[in-house]
């Protein structure tokens, strides 16, 4: 029994205008547009293999080496919708759509830890299924059914998710603002403060905010539309100062919405606040905005900055947040830079307890999902997971 295995890798994305709040829970339709940068798959990615066969008894999924239940509604919705699309497009024989599928996926970074694994994971799954069923049209609205933010990982570069107005969600899709080559100096440093599962998931948190926060209503109506247009313009014009200011203000407002919810909930820790303080002081001393921070539903910071700033910022982070790890920084290579004593004095941020930041991922803006054609599948031709992925 041989089947055609399709394998795809897909990126994470980190929003600069945050998606927070749904107008439809089942179709995962957001209250507002959002904007993100897609990060390079050579550093962080999900990898997914899929295959279908008339002899498979049931749909099966293995995630990070473990068999998981296929009863997950979001997973089922994605599969159902991609088959529907294939049927509408007449891209393959109808009989193929009745066969059960096997799916095997793994992330090369922690799952469910606020590092956008669901975004990379569902973008990867839906793209792999689209390859399997030869679906050619835009699939961002199908990735959206897995996790809202996943629709932005379907494209590389800088991406906007349009909230849309149609009740069926047909216009709630992602489009590219600029591709990955547009702003080649743009870099991201992910400062991992905690990589354990968060107490309040994004799904639960944003529901509570949509139900109770007055500030969220104000944000959706008055702040996000202007910010979204302004940041798209800043990206197109490569205006880092503007890009950074909007990014930080939007992150701060999102976390203020969490506090404005009832009961309130908090994702940022003291270390997150020290990072915020550090960035503002750094920018102030520099006389211009050279670093932006943004925080998702967790304590980890994503710093956006330009490549020429990386050596200094990285040395500073290693100085303020000492580590006992010899693998403190992973990802792209960079040169160390000596720190100026005078600069440290003016900065006056105290050195933090060892390992307050667990590790740093250094990456850049990258492309969308890509099919892997070198044969390094996660499924064997008989649909069983390859041995090395099982734990
Ligand atoms: N590679 C993958 N393939 C399929 N599903 C995945 C994959 N990776 C993650 N998921 C799904 O996403 C869930 C984790 O999503 P969750 O939103 O809790 O965490 P996160 O995406 O890491 O954090 P955040 O959305 O706040 O950035 C997993 O439990 C799983 O259902
Ligand atoms: C803070 C965020 O990262 C929230 C992401 O929320 P999810 O996309 O994980 O939520 P669901 O649609 O319920 O799966 C902001 C963002 O990525 O825009």
What is the whole-number distance in angstroms between the Cα of residue 42 and the centre of ligand 1? 19
* pTM for the structure as a whole: 0.97
Number of domains observed in the structure of the chain = 2
Choose which residue among 61, 111, 120, 258 to substitute to test ligand 1 binding: the one with the highest number of ligand atoms within 8 A of its C-beta: 111
Pick the closest to residue 23 from 118, 159, 127, 163 (CA basis).
163
What is the whole-number distance in angstroms between the Cα of residue 114 and the centre of ligand 1? 9
CA–CA dist 78, 148 (Å, integer): 12
Instruction: Please report whether residue 70 resides in a domain.
Output: yes
Same domain, 156 and 195: no
| Smallest-distance ligand from the CA of 203 | 2
28 lines ligand 2 (CB under 6 A): yes
Same domain, 156 and 274: no
Of 108-112, 242-246, 266-270, 362-366, least confident by mean pLDDT is 108-112
Mean pLDDT of all residues in 126-137: 97
Same domain, 242 and 108: no
Q: What is the pLDDT of residues 317-354, one digit of tens each?
A: 999 999 999 999 999 999 989 999 999 999 999 999 99
pLDDT at 114: 78
Instruction: Please report whether residue 61 resides in a domain.
Output: yes
Which residue's alpha carbon is at the smallest distance from atom 30 of ligand 1? 118
Q: Is the pLDDT of residue 109 over 70?
A: yes
CA–CA dist 273, 240 (Å, integer): 22
Instruction: Please report whether residue 252 resides in a domain.
Output: yes
Which residue's alpha carbon is at the smallest distance from atom 22 of ligand 1? 112
pLDDT at 391: 67
Which residue's alpha carbon is at the smallest distance from atom 12 of ligand 2? 148
- Give percent of the chain with pLDDT exceeding 70: 99
Same domain, 176 and 105: yes
Mean pLDDT of all residues in 175-181: 98
Q: What is the pLDDT of residues 199-223, one digit of tens each?
A: 899 999 999 999 999 999 999 999 9
Same domain, 11 and 156: yes
pLDDT at 116: 87
15 lines ligand 1 (CB under 6 A): no
pLDDT at 12: 98
pLDDT at 112: 76
Same domain, 165 and 215: no
Instruction: Please report whether residue 296 resides in a domain.
Output: yes
Contacts 24+ apart (CB under 8 A), 326-333: 327/359, 328/359, 328/360, 329/359, 329/360, 329/361, 329/362, 330/43, 330/359, 330/360, 330/361, 330/362, 331/43, 331/360, 331/361, 331/362, 331/363, 332/40, 332/43, 332/187, 332/362, 332/363, 332/364
Residue 382 buriedness (CB in 10 A; 0-12 / 13-18 / 19+): middle
Instruction: Please report whether residue 346 resides in a domain.
Output: yes
Per the model's pLDDT, the better-predicted residue between 199 and 10 turns out to be 10
Same domain, 63 and 208: no
Whichever domain contains 259, its CATH number is 3.30.70.890
Mean pLDDT of all residues in 115-124: 95
Tell which atom from ligand 2 comes closest to the C-alpha of 17: 18
35 lines ligand 2 (CB under 6 A): no
Tell which atom from ligand 1 comes closest to the C-alpha of 203: 17
Which residue's alpha carbon is at the smallest distance from atom 6 of ligand 2? 202
Per the model's pLDDT, the better-predicted residue between 199 and 1 turns out to be 199
Q: Is the pLDDT of residue 196 over 80?
A: no
Instruction: Please report whether residue 289 resides in a domain.
Output: yes
Same domain, 74 and 219: no
Same domain, 142 and 237: no
203 lines ligand 2 (CB under 6 A): yes
DSSP 165-199: --TT-TT--EEEEE-TTSSTTEEEEEEES--SPPS
Q: What is the pLDDT of residues 271-322, one digit of tens each?
A: 999 999 999 999 999 999 999 999 999 999 999 999 999 999 999 999 999 9
Instruction: Please report whether residue 1 resides in a domain.
Output: no
Same domain, 155 and 190: no
Same domain, 282 and 382: no
pLDDT tier at 370, thresholds 50, 70, 90:
very high
Pick the closest to residue 71 from 81, 60, 83 (CA basis).
60
Instruction: Please report whether residue 237 resides in a domain.
Output: yes
Mean pLDDT of all residues in 88-111: 95
18 lines ligand 2 (CB under 6 A): yes
Q: What is the pLDDT of residues 30-51, one digit of tens each?
A: 999 999 999 999 999 999 999 9
Which residues form the domain of 338?
186-364
Same domain, 90 and 130: yes
Whichever domain contains 143, its CATH number is 3.30.230.10
CA–CA dist 230, 389 (Å, integer): 44
202 lines ligand 2 (CB under 6 A): yes
């Amino acid at each position: 029994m041989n089947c055609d295995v399709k394998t795809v890798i897909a990126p994470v994305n980190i929003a600069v205008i945050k998606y927070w709040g749904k107008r439809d829970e089942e179709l995962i339709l957001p209250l507002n547009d959002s904007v993100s940068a897609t990060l390079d798959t050579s550093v962080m990615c999900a990898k997914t293999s899929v295959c279908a066969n008339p002899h498979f008894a049931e749909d099966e999924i293995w995630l990070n080496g473990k068999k998981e239940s296929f009863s997950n509604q979001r997973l089922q919705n994605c599969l159902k919708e991609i088959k529907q699309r294939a049927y509408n497009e007449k891209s393959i024989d109808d009989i193929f759509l009745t066969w059960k599928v096997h799916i095997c996926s793994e992330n090369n970074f922690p799952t469910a830890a606020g590092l956008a694994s669901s975004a990379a994971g569902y973008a990867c799954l839906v793209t792999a299924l689209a390859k399997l069923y030869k679906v050619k049209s835009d699939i961002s609205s199908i990735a959206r059914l897995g996790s809202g933010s996943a629709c932005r990982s379907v494209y590389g570069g800088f991406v906007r998710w349009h909230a849309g107005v149609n009740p069926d969600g047909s216009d709630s899709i992602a489009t590219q603002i600029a591709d990955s080559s547009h702003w080649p100096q743009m870099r991201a440093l992910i400062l991992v403060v905690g990589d354990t599962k968060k107490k309040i998931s994004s799904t639960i948190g944003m529901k509570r905010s949509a139900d109770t926060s007055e500030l969220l209503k104000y944000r959706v109506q008055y702040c996000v539309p202007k910010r979204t247009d302004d940041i798209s313009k800043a990206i197109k014009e490569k205006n880092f100062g503007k890009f950074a200011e909007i990014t930080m203000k939007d992150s701060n407002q999102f976390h203020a919405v969490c506090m404005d919810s009832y009961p309130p909930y908090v994702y940022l820790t003291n270390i997150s606040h020290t990072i915020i303080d550090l960035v503002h002081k750094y920018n102030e001393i520099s006389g211009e905005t050279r670093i932006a921070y943004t925080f998702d539903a967790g304590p980890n910071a994503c710093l956006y900055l330009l490549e020429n700033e990386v050596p200094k910022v990285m040395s500073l982070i290693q100085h303020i947040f000492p580590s006992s790890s010899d693998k403190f920084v992973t990802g792209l290579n960079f040169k160390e830079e000596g720190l100026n004593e005078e600069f440290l004095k003016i900065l006056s941020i105290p050195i933090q307890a060892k390992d307050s930041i667990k590790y740093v991922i250094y990456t850049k803006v990258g492309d969308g999902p890509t099919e892997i054609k070198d044969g390094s599948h996660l499924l064997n031709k008989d649909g069983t997971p390859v041995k090395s992925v099982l734990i």
